[in-house]
A and B are shown apart, each in its own frame.
Chain A
Amino acid sequence: MQTKSTDPKVFRRAVGPENVSTEESELEHFRTAGLSSRGEPAAVVRPQGTAQLREVILLARETATNLVFTSSAPPRFRGDTVPAGEGIIVDLSGMDRILRIDRRNKVAYIEPGVTFNNLIERADEAGLKVLMPLLPRKSKSVLACFLEREPIIIPKYHWDMTDPLLCTEMVFGSGDLFRTGTAGSPGGIDRQLKAGLAHKNPLGPGATDFLRIVQGSQGTLAGVTWATIKLEAKPTVHKIYFACDDRLERLVAFTYRALRPRLGDEWLILGARSLATIIAESPGSIDELARRQAPWTLVYGVSGYRYYPEERLAVQENELARIAQAVGVRPVPEVPSCPAKKMEEILAGPSPYPYYKTVPRGAFADVAFLTTLDKAGAMVEVMSTACDAHGYPPSELGIYIQPIQQGRTAHVEFTVYYDPADEADRARACELVEAASWELDEAGAFFSRPYGSLSRIAFRNCPDSVEALRKVKQVMDPDNVLNRGKLCFGEEVV
């Protein structure tokens, strides 16, 4: 398909002139992000609902325009909302209603613009808690976050990779409307609610799972206009513990044995630098704080619910203490400069503005992938060697290990901090991330949600999946109008 120059005025027809902007102050947010190369956003278009989004997509098909969805407000870091070449930004952040919270069935109905803060407040009023990723940006869309398969910090609630996303409404790149899970059952939503549906079943309809297909697609297949999100009951008692160690293997052994019978709530492992970055009150204190921490800290929570809460808490504490002793780990109620209470508050909400990872040096680049917990240590070694080779001190590397799928899989995230104003520093970070990604790939890292140039690495390993994915793309986005050139849908991959 030929790419035409995009005339933003066309989209006024769909959303009204007031919802089309060509202001540079808005466009600049989509020119670059993180280490991505420059894009050329021509306008920001703001649909006010599903019908308008459909119109926008249909117009894009008519005019061969590249559309890039965004649901969060800036700052942005990954480059998935920077068009590859020219494009129109479809900003859904204005669709920000929490449509419904159902306490009994523990589910929230949200539009794409709903952020964690809004949702936490509403859920809390209902006695529910939001399943949080680790410190999302304040402006981050809840829906976009889970569409990206961002891991949550309570592994026992992560039954499958789609969690905690449940049902959705989406508009395919063809302009067709589709509803997934039980939202796709007969009848409109009001009628379904009257019939008692709570939109808790994420599968189908029928023998296809379009939610699963669209998740992780970085806006290349469909735009999602609302979703139901799984919430959980708020514990009546809750405590945070730490286990500090200079050997990651011990914490991994502890994690395996604890998560197998689903002990504990929050469960994550942080390297000293990441922990310091999270708990520091000021940028200046990070180095010193990092020095005072053990190389590895496991943070975990235990809870009691409505019935015999103290008894449950005691059972959990005792079981975990037994396991800890067996593997040679010692749970403690605080780490330097961070008592349990403080960590509890940190984990319960989004990051302070603008984002905790920008605090150390002003900018950062992540390398995130999946593996199993027993391989995490080897991955750390690969990354540290790469750091050494590029003159980046391994002690300054951010490391975050998150068990997901109830402990069967581990999300590993390395963060390289750099000064965006220092071209050499930026270049070094860029080279390190690129080189390390290849080496990690060789060592078995699975880049399940590759951003930017990482796609080249991720998709070269699975040419047959690429072939199948391209066929799926052809079905859902026949004119290739959605986030052109991303993932394996560009020319250069495979």
Chain B
Amino acid sequence: MPPSLGLRAAFRALTITARPVVRAPLRPGRLSQLRTFADNTTSTPPPQIPGQDGMPIPDSFTGSAKEEPEQAAAAEGQESAGSAESAESAEPASPLNQLALDQLQLASYGLDPFDPHVVGHKYGLPELPIPSNMRAKHRYDPVVEQMTRLIMRDGKLSKAQRDMAMILNYLRTSPPPKINPARPLLPGAPPASHLPLDPVLYLTLAVDSVAPLIRIRGYSGIAGGGKKLEVPAPLAARQRRRTAFQWILDVVDKKKSKGSGRTMFPHRVAEEIVAIMEGRSSVWDKRNLVHRQGTAARANLATVAKRFGNKAR
């Protein structure tokens, strides 16, 4: 939004001298904070509005301001100062006048009227990048979102979301995992005591740690004898997480519930995630198996490359 939205013209048309603009320190969130979704009757003091509660109305608003030559000589005020003599004070309020008046009012509140976050926007410009709680579509953490969709059965997304919330709550309330050094987590993982209060990180760390790097792809017709030629293929991050979580769900399906009620499925999933962190889970073995197979089959890459050329990749 260009700040020169008829500003100069507006000032030119004014009969009054623009008061020197009070440049308050730039606080981009200030105005948007004052305007929340619902009515605001809170402990933040309301802005002092001139003309109310005994606040004097500034002279500039009544149009009776005297010209102040030393300030009019400032760079911004020069043009308006020159035109102020020519125009009469009885000029009717045009939209441009109104805009300028609004800006003056802002300045009298101590806000910057030329702030691009405020000018021309009823609610100001959003902060960029848009914070997650302001978005409708992508409001959850990507890992949480993906896991929720994998938990979903029969299209019942809202049940899946409730289950995921219970999983995260289980992680928050269970004691910190005892990390097994034989099953190393991702490098750079925070200490275990930090994890429960950040359940999303907890979940992400567990899933990413057991996620396989590759999958075994079978090429039929190359190995001969009806066998498929096993060739390792790399996985993207999302695919890796999906594989890992499917493995987790496979284990969970075979587990028995301890109690009854709607918390049972999420608690079984969460228990498995804790088991992964502590190195007890059989998902680790699955991952190791795939990696070992991949290591053994990597010689086959050459065969495929020879056969298909660049397309094989």
- A and B associate in one complex: no
